[in-house]
């Protein structure tokens, strides 16, 4: 009987789902997150510019370490830009996948 109770507890659905407008201040929170995203995109553009300069300086001065760090910074900035741009899609995808778990 104890095993049957444990299985019954696992199958229990609490009925929780995201609801728009459930809390006051949701529009303010969305505005804050959008502003943080914009700030991050601007920071990534700056990081890409600095990395490009370090990469070029390393290449032309013969400093292989600086050239490698410039390439690494450029790739990191590109990856960050990809994640910032795809954040809504990634969260929506995994949220949808999560609702299909039974």
* Model confidence pLDDT, tens digit, residues 53-100: 999 999 999 999 999 999 999 999 999 999 999 999 999 999 889 888
Enter the pTM of the model. 0.73
Contacts of 85 (CB under 8 A, 6+ apart): 41
d(C-alpha 11, C-alpha 46), whole Å = 50
> Are the C-beta atoms of 58 and 67 separated by less than 8 Å?
yes
What are 1-23's pLDDT values in tens digits? Answer: 577 666 666 666 667 777 777 77
d(C-alpha 90, C-alpha 20), whole Å = 19
Locate tokens 């990081």: which residue?
47
């Amino acid at each position: 009987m104890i095993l049957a109770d444990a299985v019954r507890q696992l199958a229990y659905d609490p009925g929780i789902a995201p609801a728009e407008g459930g809390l006051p201040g949701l529009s303010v929170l969305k505005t804050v997150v959008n502003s943080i995203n914009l700030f991050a995109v601007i920071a990534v553009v700056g990081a890409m510019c600095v990395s490009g300069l370090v990469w070029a300086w390393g290449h032309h001065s013969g400093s292989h370490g600086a050239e490698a760090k410039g390439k690494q910074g450029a790739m990191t900035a590109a990856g960050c830009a990809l994640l910032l741009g795809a954040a809504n899609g990634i969260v929506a995808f995994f949220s949808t996948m999560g609702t299909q778990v039974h």
